Structure formats: C-alpha cells, structure tokens
Structure 1
Amino acid sequence: MASLATHLCVTLLLLPIGIHRLFCSSSLYLKNPSLFRSKTWYLSEPKWKNLDLYVLTVALPIASFSLIFLFLSITTGHTTYRFSFLHESLLLFLYWVLAILFVLRDAIDPVVILDNFLFVFGGILFFVEYSFIGEGTSGLVVEVVYGLCGDLSLVCGFCCLYLAIRPGAFFAEFCFCCGLVLKGTWFLQAGLCLYTDVFGFKGCHEIEILPGSGNVELKCDLEEDGLRGVALVNLMFVGHAIVVFLVSLGLFGLLSTNRDLRHGEASGPLLAGLDSESALMRALPEFEVE
C-alpha cells in the first residue's frame, strides 16, 4: 500500500544512504584491506558531516506518526488501508530506533552498543519489511513488482546477519550497499509504473482500489497485457541491477585509481631523490681521481 510520493520518499532515503555507505566502505577497504571492518554507520569526524543521520532521526518519527494519524482517520470501510498504514508506521518507528542507536553509539562508549548487535537488529528489520511489502495488493504485475522489492529486502537482511558474524567480509558489505542503491532506484521505478499513466504498461490501467475489499489492483484489459507487463518488469529489474552493479564497480575503480595516483605522487620525489644521491656518489670518486 503506497503512492508515488511514498515511493519517491523511499528513494530519497535509500539512494543517498547506499551511495554514502559504498563510498565510505570502499575507501576504508582500499586504505588497508587486511584491517577492514564493516560498520553499521560510517560516522564522520566533524559532527556536521553526519547531517544525514540527524535528518533521519527527525524525519522517521514524523513519518511514523503521520501514518498512525492516517490509520486512525481512514474509515472502517478500507480495513486493508488502515492496517497497512499501521504496519508501515511501526516499521518506520523501528528504523527510527535503529537510527537512535547509531547516535547513542557515537555519543557513548562503542563497547556498550556493539556493531554486531546493530547488524542483527538491522537484519531483523529487513525481514520484517519483507513481510509487509506488497500487503493489500493484488494482480500479477503488482505482485511481481513488490515481490522483487521483497527479494531485495531479504538480500539486505542476509548481508546484515553475515556482517554481524564476519564484519571483515567486504563482499557482503559491497552486496549490502548495492542492495540499498538498487532498492532506492527500483522503488522509484515501481512508483512510476504502478501509480502513473505516463510510465504505465500498455493495456494496463493505473492502480485502483477494489470495491468492497479495500485491496488495490493493477487491472489489465487482456491476459496477454498482464504477461507482457510481467516480462517488462523483469527486464527493467535486470537493467536496474546491471546499471547499479556497473556504477558501483566504477566508483570502486575510481577510488582505487585515485589512491594509486596519490601513492605514485608520493613515491615520485623519493625516487628522484634516491637517483640524485646515487648520481652524486658515482661522481665523487671521479672528482677525487682528478
């Protein structure tokens, strides 16, 4: 149960977090691969650089209470809408608790709140999100769209649990970052396809509420239109996954190249100094002979 605005908000939330996490984790790994340890949140030394985390601590409870207000205000005729808003508000509240734990871990002794516990807690939240995604929806195309969203939540959840056990596994961290970025782009694609006519599927109408049940469904004129829509959804998801993977590899390669260039700049003058010293040492015996 959602809308285009909801999908856009999810994209604005997940996409920056995924890119920021990919940049920070890749930088730490390239700095010293043997000492790499994944972190639940990569906090910066200047406090103002952690503005994204502080924004989450303010925005998540506001969004949660707004959904609770909608749950209380919607008439009883749309039971599915009511409980969907309630479930979403509870999920946002749990994510807000996780953000508060990030802030507390930075403020107090990190030993008190271990990263392992936070990874396990985050993995549980992704599994809870998986159970809520697509609730109250029906229709072949809608089920496939939200099913892929749920699969991404499972991937992120398993990555969190694996990082809780093996925090030095960079491949799990890389998959986790790619999963967050892919969730952000795919939620936007899902909102455009399901809740707009411009980006909708041929032969399928905008998503609407079924009378009497409160569920939402994406109706298609013919069965062939629905099957074609499913094929397009799978094709678009594969395209999203390839683009996100290539961009992530490109960012990792760019960071690696920048690191190598800086090392080259640092070693160049040293090598030049060694060459000049060796040249002087070779020239001194000739001066003495004369």
Structure 2
Amino acid sequence: MAAFLYHTMSSSALVSLGLYHLISATRSYLKSPNSYSAKPFHPFPPSSSGNNTHHRFRYLSLYLIIICLLVALTHQLIISSDSDILLKGRTPVYRFTSLQSSAVLFLFLILAVSVLLSESSSLLPLPTDLIFALASAIFLLQYSVSAAAASVQTSDLEAKCDSVSARISALASVLCLILACQPRLFVADVGLGAAICLQGLWVLQTGLSLYVDAFIPEGCHRLLDVVKGIVGSTKCDLDDSKFRAVAILDFVFLVHVIFVALIVMITYGGIAKSLGMTKSGTYEALPNNAPTSESYHHGHIQMKALTGTQA
C-alpha cells in the first residue's frame, strides 16, 4: 500500500506541474503571439500585477517542485537499501538501478534550485536555452535509466511499465532540445506540458497495475511469501497471460494519450474564450440586399464600411 501511495503522490505532482505549464504557456501565447517565447518557469499566479501578495507567491511552483523532488529522492534512497526476497533482494543490479534513479532525481533537484536562483537573484543568471538544454540532457538520462531497469526487470508488467515511461522521457527530452533551439515554437512548449501530464498519468497507471489487485490483468498475480508476509512482484503464469497483459497496457496507454490530447484542446479553448480571443481571419459577409434606386441615382453601390484602416 505504501508503494501505491507513493505512486499516487508522484502522479499528482507530475500532472499538476504539467497542467500548470500547459495553462501558463497557452495563456502567454494567446496574450502576445508575436512576442511569445517558451519559459522554463512561469510565475504564480500568472498575472502582471506587481503587488506584494503576488510577489510573495511568485516562486511557489519552484518551491513545490523542490519539495517534491526532495521527497522522491529520499524515498528512492530508502528503497535502494530494501531487500525484496521474492524479486531482487540485495543484489548489485537492484542497488545500482535504484542509485541511478536517485542520481537522476538529484540532477532534477539541482536544475530546479538553479532555476530558482536564476529567477530570484543574480547569483546564477542562466539563459533560457541553457536551462532547456540541461533539462533535455536529464530527461535523456531518465530515459536511459528507465530503459535499463526494464531490461533487467523480472516482472513482466513492471518491465512494460518502465519501457513506456522511458519512451515518455525520451519525448520530453526531444521537446526540451527543440525549445532550446527554437524557443518561439509554441507547439513544442505545449507538447512538453502534455508529456509531463502523460508521465504523471502513467505513474498512476503503473501503481494501479502493480499494486492494486482489481487492476492487475487476468492471469497475473502478486507473489507472496506466506512465512514472512512479504509481497513481491507481479508475475504472469503463462505466456498467453503475459502477452494479453502487455496488450492491455498498450491499449490503456493509448487511452491516456487521447485523454491528454483532450486536456490540451479543452485548455486552449477555455483560455482563448476567457481572454475573448476569436479565430483569426474571420470576416462578416457583405449584405446581399438589392441596390435601391437612390444608390443608382448617385452612381454607386452601398458597400460595408471598413474598420481598422487609416486614410
């Protein structure tokens, strides 16, 4: 139950971060498309007001990210010394894999602190493109660690979950690299927020598929050491059950992708409506009334008045 609780908390943090980045980036783009540029940090609340209340909470999102990373790093260091008799035990492979995950979290923590120092003081004035480039490198390391963990995993379901998580990290790495080179590319910035949301949803799905009996696919079950009461990994009895479970996870991942795409469209539409934006290039049709005799008498046809032009 503790493992599922940790997955739930991690999922909530990632989804909240992704939604906040998505909303802030969309709002910034719609307010000024010509001067838009992607930012690794958006002040809270997203307002131009300069009163003391807003200034006090300006770096709230960075503080929360740092706290969540500290909790995740502590949890990862603790479980790296745990013994799982049924699955890994105190083996060098498990120890090194856990330490690699801890190292990636520590790099994310360093990056978050660096962004905080860069935004709040002049001690570390990092340019935006360098921050995105560093984030791309760390996401690439996370992809490598997740892929390596999937390759040595003895649990079929956990290996599949790790491999999907690795692909999402690779996508986030590519998007950060694009933003480092092309910061005005709004699609990449929105894609980064969507990728973070997708990673959060997949973390929740991983917890459900591995630790909640009602969501474990049919033909798979969790191992239990009856004598010591230790719950181990989720195993599938037959190859057919394993292939079926993998196919179910692929389908669920597709559902998560569709759900994130809907979130992106709803967010864009909602923010555009709140800002009073309309689709560019719209026009009103000219009146289709027949010309009157007075118009013919003066030798001209009544036209619709032009607005927004100068003489």
Whether TM-score is above 0.5 comes out as yes
Distance 2:90 2:277 in 1: 64
Query: Which residue does 1:153 correspond to in 2?
Result: 169
> After the TM superposition, which of the residue ranges 189-198 and 57-66 deviates more from structure 2?
57-66
Question: Which of these residues, 38, 46, 64, is aligned with residue 73 of structure 2?
Answer: 64
Alpha carbons 2:114, 2:124 under 8 Å: kept:
no
Counterpart in 2 of 1:25?
A: 25
The 3 A distance-change label for structure 1 pair 207 and 121 is: farther
Q: Give the secondary-structure state (helix, strand or coil) at the position aligned to 1:41.
A: coil
Closer, same or farther: CA 219–100 of 1 in aligned 2, 3 Å: same
Moved more, 116-125 or 5-14: 5-14
The aligned residue for residue 48 of structure 1 is 57
Instruction: Verify the 8 A CA contact 1:95 1:125 in the aligned structure 2.
Output: yes
Hey, what's the Cα distance between the residues in 2 that align with 1:64 and 1:111? 24
Deviation at 1:248, TM superposition (A): 1.2
Give SS of 1:206's match: strand
Query: Kindly tell me: are residues 238 and 207 of structure 1, through their superposed partners in 2, closer, same or farther at Cα, counting changes over 3 Å?
Result: farther
Query: Would the aligned equivalents of 1:196 and 1:206 in 2 still touch at CA under 8 Å?
Result: no
The structural deviation recorded for 1:197 is 1.2
1:235 maps to which residue?
251
Provide the residue aligned with 1:125 in structure 2. 138
Q: TM-score scaled to structure 2, two decimals?
A: 0.74
Q: Deviation digits for residues 18-67 of structure 1, max 9, x if unmatched?
A: 00000000001001112110001112352314323112323423442453
Write the letter of the residue equivalent to 1:230: V
- Pairing partner for 2:92 from 37, 58, 79: 79
Q: Which runs of 5+ in 2 are unaligned?
A: 45-53, 226-231, 279-311
Q: 1:143 aligns with which of 130, 151, 159?
A: 159
1:269 corresponding residue in structure 2: none
1:177 and 2:158 correspond: no
Quote the Cα distance in structure 2 between the aligned partners of 1:9 and 1:146.
18
Task: Report the equivalent of 1:260.
Answer: 276
1:194 and 1:90, CA in 2 relative to 1: closer, same or farther beyond 3 A?
A: same
Deviates more, 1:69-78 or 1:127-136: 69-78
Cα 1:220–1:253 shift into 2, 3 Å: same
Does the 8 A contact of 2:13 with 2:68 survive in 1? Answer: no
User: C-alpha separation between the residues in 2 aligned to 1:162 and 1:156?
Assistant: 10
Q: CA deviation at 1:141?
A: 3.4
Q: Distance in 2 between matches of 1:59 and 1:32?
A: 32
Supply the distance in 2 between the matched residues of 1:13 and 1:98 (Cα, whole angstroms): 17
Superposed CA deviations along residues 101-156 of structure 1, whole A, max 9, x for unmatched, are 11111122499210111101101111111111161423443332221111110110
| Alignment partner, residue 107 of structure 2 | 94
Q: Name the CA distance, whole Å, in 2 between partners of 1:164 and 1:83.
A: 31
What SS class does the counterpart of residue 198 from structure 1 fall into? helix
Q: Would the aligned equivalents of 1:70 and 1:82 in 2 still touch at CA under 8 Å? A: no
When normalised by structure 1's length, the TM-score is 0.79
1:204·1:218 contact (CA, 8 Å) conserved in 2? yes
Name the CA shift for 1:138/1:168 in 2 (closer, same or farther; >3 Å).
same
Deviations 1:148-170 (CA, angstroms, capped at 9, x unpaired):
11111011000000000000000
Contact (CA 8 Å) 1:74, 1:82: kept in 2 or not? Answer: no
The structure-2 alpha-carbon separation of the partners of 1:111 and 1:97, relative to structure 1 and needing over 3 Å to count, comes to closer
**Rounded Cα–Cα distance in structure 1 between residues aligned with 2:58 and 2:217:** 42
Counterpart CA distance in 2 for 1:227 and 1:126 is: 29
* 38-47 or 187-196, larger mean C-alpha shift: 38-47
Bigger helix share: 1
Query: Which of structure 1's runs of 4+ aligned residues deviate more than 6 A?
Result: none
- Cα distance in 2, alignment partners of residues 69 and 260 from structure 1: 50
The percent of aligned pairs where both chains have the same amino acid is 25
Aligned residues: 255
CA distance in 1, matches of 2:198, 2:223: 23
Q: Structure 1: which 5+ runs fail to align?
A: 210-215, 263-290
Query: For residue 82 of structure 1, what is the amino acid of its counterpart?
Result: R
